[in-house]
Structure 1
Amino acid sequence: MNLAERIEQQFQQCVDNIRDTRPLVGDSLLLAADTICAALLQGGKVMSCGNGGSAALAQYFALLLQNRYQRERPGLPAVALSADNVLVSGVAAEDAYKNVYANSLRTLGQATDCLVVFCADRDAANLREAVRAANDRDIPVILIDNEQCADLQSELNSKTIIVRTPGSHRDRNQETHTLLVHCLCDLIDIQIFGEEL
């Protein structure tokens, strides 16, 4: 396979994953947007987390909410739990990384908030602990994941909304999760600020 064919293969894999995801996530995306809007309209905030590229996506999501997505509007309260390097590394040094997100949720989280967990590869102890901490604080959880995150299932409850992409290829899942973030931001903007004129 030559390099031009490899480029074509990358694009085709991305298109295929997005196409396969679309019929699976419509209802859950709407429910996720409703849950986020309810938290924001009650004076709560959106907290997000993930590992690796998913941590970057959690930060990107917080940016789009705090600043803006596609139109000028007031900022919305959102924080990526992975963004504070001093806090994350300090907790990790003392607690073997397991509670880096859970500690912030237990300290800052309120029942009016919501937690968005991004998992594009496989779950990890710190994500399970974050979900457990959210459950303890009665904070709704939105899990944007894929087939490899099955171990998180043991921590989910009736308030958990799962937006799952098919397949197990991390990079394809992160591409699709980025699209899901854009869809969520669009739905949130419309529900809180109305249709753009």
Structure 2
Amino acid sequence: MSSSLIQQSLTEHRAALETVSAMAPEILRAAESITQTLRRGGRVFACGNGGSAADAQHFAAELTGRFERERRGLAGIALTTDTSALTAIGNDYGFDAVFARQLEALGQSGDLLLALSTSGHSPNVVRAVETARAHDIGTLGLLGRDGGAMADLVDQALIVPATRTARVQEMHILILHLLCEAIDDTDPG
């Protein structure tokens, strides 16, 4: 790996960071939606594939555990963690249904779904968003590139317009941490 390649990646990272900086009001609005959901006794579900699945789990863990300050545990549920459910649903209904079917079973009106996708086109995440909408569950998309199919499906889309998946993922984890900071600051417990 050459020094110029590293410099190019850092330049891309800084450009992506500038777009996130400009999204501060949107990120705050998303944090307020999450906080309101939790204050009303709703739960926050999260889903995604690959790195986005890991981010969904990370975010749910920050809610149920804690981010940086002591507070009561908050209702965060990653739909990516139950291997028995994922494999049974995938086997019986197809991989596109793995999140939607869980949301149908566990979600209630007033809950919120955080849908993560670097492309915005992941069929199983799109289907989860459609299921959420059909069950009066709020939707927040953490997306990349142009937001894909999900940009117009979710109630609010936070779109990192980078083209490289790595840059989108780097900004997604930053946004998730910014959401956690804002949630902690408002003390939804």
Please say whether Structure 1 and Structure 2 have the same fold, judged by a TM-score greater than 0.5.
yes
Distance 2:97 2:12 in 1: 35
Other-structure match for 2:11 = 12
Counterpart position of 1:167: 162
Which residue number corresponds to residue 40 of structure 1?
A: 38
Unmatched 5+ stretches in structure 1: none
Is 1:141 paired with 2:139? yes
Structure 2: runs of 5 or more not aligned: none
Tell me the matched-pair count. 189
Q: 1:27 deviation in Å?
A: 2.2
Instruction: Provide the secondary structure at the position in 1 that maps to 2:186.
Output: helix
Let me know the Cα RMSD of the aligned residues: 1.7
CA contact (8 A) 2:62 2:180 kept: yes
Letter in 2 for 1:107: A
The 3-state SS of whatever aligns with 1:180 is helix
- After the TM superposition, which residues 36-115 of structure 1 pair with which residues of structure 2 at under 5 Å, given as runs? 36-115=34-113
| Distance (whole Å) between structure 2 residues aligned to residue 104 and residue 82 of structure 1 | 10
Per-residue Cα deviation, 1:76-134 (whole angstroms, up to 9, x for no partner): 11110011111111111122211100011111101121110111134221111101110
State TM-score, norm by structure 1.
Answer: 0.89
CA distance in 1, matches of 2:175, 2:71: 20
Query: Aligned AA for 1:13?
Result: E
Paired residue secondary structure (1:175): helix
In structure 2, C-alpha distance between the alignment counterparts of 1:141 and 1:32, rounded to whole Å: 10
Greater Cα offset, 116-125 or 31-40: 116-125
Contact 1:121 1:169 in 2 (8 A): no
Letter in 2 for 1:184: L
Q: TM-score by structure 2 length?
A: 0.93
Q: Deviations over 1:159-187 (max 9, x none)?
A: x0111111221110000000000000000
Shift of 1:148: 4.6
CA contact (8 A) 2:80 2:86 kept: yes
Q: Which amino acid counterpart does residue 28 of structure 1 have in structure 2?
A: E
